[in-house]
Amino acid sequence: MKKRMNENMKLSEALENFVSTNKLQKGLDKVNVKDVWNEQMGPGIVKYTTAIKLEGSTLFIQLSSSVLREELSYGKDRIVKILNEALKKELITKLVLR
């Protein structure tokens, strides 16, 4: 069992330390991407989204509407930019619509 740290620490610092120590950042990024997609794309697009998967720096989005998939394919770069700005880091480099 680890010794208890005697120094005072901010809660945010303690959480960051916990996440980095336990290597949880990739899992948190996957959850954050799903939340940001739902928030930024709006209910009209979310309704047709069936799966969201982040593998490395590639975001895979499965859509149930081929028409919507075609429309979104024209603005892939813009969507990646919007999602990265909302995530506050360059996490996504490629968007694949299925």
| pLDDT, tens digit (0-9, with 9 covering 90-100), for 28-45 | 888 999 999 999 999 999
Q: Is the pLDDT of residue 1 over 60?
A: no
pLDDT at 19: 77
Query: Residue 55: which pLDDT band, with cuts at 50, 70 and 90?
Result: very high
How long a stretch of residues is the chain? 98
User: What percentage of the chain exceeds 90 in pLDDT?
Assistant: 68
More confident residue, 21 or 87: 87
Average pLDDT over the chain, rounded to an integer = 90
User: Average of pLDDT values for 83-94?
Assistant: 95
pLDDT at 42: 93
> Cβ(97)–Cβ(69) under 8 Å?
yes
pLDDT at 89: 93
